[in-house]
Amino acid sequence: MLTDMLLLLPTTLIDGLVLGLIYASIALGYTMVYGVLGLINFAHSEVFMVGAIVAIEVLIYGLAGTGLHPLIQLVVAIAVGGLAAGFLAVAIERVAYRPLRVRNAPRLVPLITTIGVSLFLQDSVRFVESLFGQFIRPFPSFPFFNRQIVLSETVFISNRTLAIIVLAVTLLAGLYYMVHRTRLGKAMRAVALDQKTSQLMGINVNKVIATTFFIGGVAGGVAGVLYALQFGRMDPFSGFIPGIKAFTAAVLGGIGSVEGAVLGGVLLGILEVVLGTYIPMWTNNAIGTEYKDIIAFSILILILIFRPNGLVGRAYAEKV
C-alpha cells in the first residue's frame, strides 16, 4: 500500500496545487474586501459562479466553430467571464452595500445583506439558465486540454493543469504587483487602515472601494473559469462551497493580506486533496472522500482557536 501511495503522491500534489491556486484566486476577493470594509462578502462565491457560467456561454455560443486555438478561446472566455464578474461585483456593491455604508448601519446588517444577495443570485442565475435548458452547464470539451505531457513513467501533467497553473500564477502575481507597487494599491491599503484619514488625504474612498470590488470580482470570475475547466462543469449552486473554502484559505493565511491568501489557498488545496485521497485509502473507504469538506471546516475552526490572525497575519487592534 505504501508504494501505491508514493506513486500517487506527485499527481495528488499537482491536483492539490491546482485546487489551491484556484482557492487563492477566490480568496483574494474575500481578503481585499474584508481588508477594506471589514465585511465578509458572502456574495463573492456567486460572483465566482457567474464568471464561470458567462465564460462557458461565451465558449458555447460565441467561440464554438471559430476554429481558434483552444488556448486563445480560453483566454477570450476568461477575459469576458472575468469582466462580467467584476462588473457584477461593482453592481452589488453599488446597489446593496453602499447605501448601508452611507447610513452607517450596524455590522450585522451588511453581513445579512451579503447572504441575501448570494441566495438571490443563485436562484436568479438558475432561472435565467433554466430558460435555455439545463441549468447545470458542462464545460465544453477540448481534446487539446486533455493531452498529457509525460514527465516520468508515473507522472503525467495535462495541458489543462499546465494552463490553469500558468494562468492562476499570472493572475496572482499581477494582483500582488497591483496591491504593493501601484498608486491604486497604496490607496487601497490606506483605505483599509483608516477611511476617514485617507479621505482627508484626498483619496476618493467610494471609488477605491468600488475598484476593490471590481478587482476582487475579476479575480473571482477568472478563478471560476479555471475551476469549471478543472472540474468540467458549473451550476448556480456550485459556487457556494468553494467560496466558503476560499474564505477559510483567506483566514488560514491571515485575512486582509494578499500573500496570506495565496499561502492559505495553496496549503488548503493541497491538504484537501492529499487527505481526501489518502484517508479513504488508510481506512479502506470507511471514511470516504465525502469528508473532504469536513477537513476544510475543521482546519478553519482549528486555525481560529490556535492562530486567529492566520499564518502570516498581524493582530489588529480594534478601533474605537
Q: Does position 124 bind other proteins by CB under 8 A?
A: yes
> Which string of x and - marks every residue 228-267 that binds other proteins (by CB under 8 A)?
------------xx--x--xx--x----------------
- Beta carbon nearer to other proteins, 205 or 304: 304
Q: Does position 110 bind other proteins by CB under 8 A?
A: yes
Q: Does position 91 bind other proteins by CB under 8 A?
A: no
Q: Which of 1, 131, 150, 315 binds other proteins (CB under 8 A)?
A: 131
CA distance 128 to 195: 38
> Which string of x and - marks every residue 14-53 that binds other proteins (by CB under 8 A)?
------------------------xxx-------------
- Beta carbon nearer to other proteins, 63 or 255: 255
Residue ranges with strand state E in 131-174: 137-138, 148-150, 156-158
Q: Which of 104, 143, 196, 200 binds other proteins (CB under 8 A)?
A: 104
Size of the residue set binding other proteins (CB under 8 A): 57
Is the Cβ–Cβ distance between 248 and 296 less than 8 Å? Answer: yes
- In order, the DSSP letters of 49-103 are HHHHHHHHHIIIIIITTS---HHHHHHHHHHHHHHHHHHHHHHHIIIIIHHHHHH
Q: Does position 64 bind other proteins by CB under 8 A?
A: no
Contacting residues for 135 by C-beta, under 8 A, at least 6 apart? 125, 126, 129, 235, 236
Q: Does position 280 bind other proteins by CB under 8 A?
A: no
The CA angle 279-282-287, to the nearest 5 degrees, is 50
CA distance 316 to 151: 46
For residue 281, the tally of other CB atoms under 10 A from its CB is: 12
Q: Does position 98 bind other proteins by CB under 8 A?
A: no
Residues that bind other proteins (CB under 8 A): 38-40, 96, 99-100, 104-113, 115-124, 126-127, 130-131, 133-135, 240-241, 244, 247-248, 251, 283, 286-288, 290-291, 293-294, 296-298, 300-301, 304-305, 308, 318, 320
